[in-house]
Amino acid sequence: MTDDGFGNSRRGSRSGRFAVVKRSVAQLAARSNSREPVSRGPARLRVNGAHTLISSAQVAAPLSEREHRTQLRRAVLASTVGTAIEWYDFFLYSTVTGLVFAPLYFPKSDPLVGTLEAFAIYAVGFVARPVGAAIFGHYGDRVGRKSTLIASLLLMGIATFLVALVPTYQRIGVWGAIILTILRFVQGVGVGGEWGGSVLLSMEWARSAKHRGFIASWPQFGVPAGLFLANLAVLAFSRISGPQFLEWGWRIPFLLSIVLVGIGFYIRLGILETPVFTRLAAEKRIERAPILEVIRRQPKEIILTALCRMGEQAPFYIFTAFVFAYGTGTLHVHRDFLLLAVLCASLVSFVSIPTFGHLSDRIGRKRVYMLGAVVTAVFGFIYFALLNTTVPALVFIAVLLSLIPHDIMYGPQAALIAECFTGRLRYSGASLGYQLASVFAGGPSPLIATWLLNTYASGWPIAWFIFFCALISMAATTMLKDYTNKDID
């Protein structure tokens, strides 16, 4: 017997599928005897005007314990791999912004102004993320998590691939920056629909409430995985292309994204819809306008979940995007050294994110999250103290440790946010709350950091900005309900 990659033998996997078929045939026979119409292939349920595609096996009978475990592993794998690919696309743009876009697309600007203009285009992706959350949240709560996630993956991947083909200012003038802005907006729409669906795809396959924090943390694992892949790709082609990096080296990682999207697309095609959405569809509890409904019913949760991300998201993009402009421009550190340091920091997150997700199952989401906010408030000052020494070893340590305070919050964050919303509105509500923070936290933070640096010629005001963001997270988190180990709809 050979292993299928998910802990089951091939023979066991076939017998599991055979059991599903037997139950399906039995139910179809019963329908035939009662003169009910028999469905063939995937079941298409029409609920409140929406067509929902669910496999016939799911409609016919519930899965066995073994089949459920297999689907859980596949859902977690599909969520994590797909999320890693989408964040690779998004972080690739973030990494290259501070290194490439200012000289190539704003060559006539002062270096500082060029950096600000490049980060302004970068911020457009964050403004677009709530738009993506609204669009994909609507369809995720209407037609299902799986199909919506496939669409978001394709949208993000195609936009990233096209970035590699955008001509520079020298060829088409200002149109290069305009095209970049459009593609960055499309990227933001795609990633805006990704997070909520990937978290729900994993979390809604959980058999009990005892491990939701750990299971939901795996799609979060896609963030450091995407960061690692993006920095690895840029570092590799920086070394390969050498002085030609600004000519063609930076474009190759964007071209490679289409291969990763193909892999993610294949993996996501092989999973089933989540049991929670399947039950909601069968019970005809699908909302006609889930975005409007969640805004009407749970506005407090949307606002608080967005604000609780201030201390997590704003510092993260200072640590992973602004650091390249600050390191190369102010500290005169080589770009490859910074790329390697951020790459190593993302490796630390491979362990820390699921660890803190698991810890939240043991001691509570809010306790772990509040701890992370406190550590972040203090770490900002340590971070810039180490960077400003310009001693390579200390700079490396600062960057290496920078994501741990973030991970203390990010590990339990998926479950903390998703558990706040009812099942029939969860994709919309969780996505809106999560992505709204991008408008006032993630997107502006490199711009604010650049302005503070230019105004005060020091990194210490940026540390105070991180401190302020952490305080907002603490205040918002105290007002959220904690559903750790509690049953939710």
Angstrom CA distances, 156 to 84, 145, 181, 236, 258, stand at 12, 17, 14, 23, 10
The residue written with tokens 């998910």 in the block is 6
* Cα 226 from chain centre: 9
* Distance of alpha carbon 81 from alpha carbon 47, whole angstroms: 31
- Whether the CB-CB separation of 453 and 328 falls below 8 Å is answered with no
58-70 burial code (b ≥16 CB/10 A, e <16): bbbeebeeebebb
Rounded Cα–Cα distance for residues 163 and 207 (Å): 41
Q: Which residues pair with 53 in a beta bridge?
A: 44
- pLDDT tens digits for range 98-157: 678 878 887 776 666 666 677 777 778 888 999 999 999 999 999 988 889 899 989 988
Q: Give residue 448's Cα distance to chain centre.
A: 23
- Reported as type and span, the H/E element at residue 50 is strand 50-54
A 10 A CB-CB count for 1 gives: 9
Non-local (6+) Cβ contacts of 30 within 8 A are none
Closest CA to 302 of 475, 87, 130, 474: 130
Quickly count: other Cβ atoms within 10 Å of residue 221's Cβ. Answer: 24
Asked if residue 313 lies in contact with residue 372, where contact means CB atoms within 8 angstroms, the answer is: no
Distances (CA, A) of 466 to 221, 356, 378, 388: 23, 21, 9, 17
In tens digits, the chain (489 residues) has pLDDT values of 443 334 444 444 444 444 443 444 344 344 434 433 333 344 455 545 555 555 544 544 567 778 888 888 889 988 898 889 888 887 888 778 767 887 888 777 666 666 667 777 777 888 899 999 999 999 999 998 888 989 998 998 899 999 999 999 889 988 988 898 899 899 889 889 988 899 998 998 887 788 899 999 999 988 899 889 988 898 899 889 988 988 999 999 999 989 988 998 888 888 888 888 988 888 888 889 999 999 999 999 999 999 999 999 999 999 988 998 899 888 999 888 998 999 999 999 999 999 999 999 999 999 999 999 999 999 999 999 999 999 999 999 999 999 999 999 999 999 999 999 998 999 999 999 999 998 889 888 988 999 999 999 999 999 999 999 999 999 999 999 999 988 877
Q: Which CATH architecture has domain 76-478?
A: Up-down Bundle (1.20)
What number of other Cβ atoms are within 10 A of residue 461's Cβ?
16
The residue type of 56 is S
- The model carries a pTM of 0.79
Both tokens assigned to 368: 């772990």
Helices marked H in 143-269: 145-163, 169-172, 175-203, 212-241, 251-269
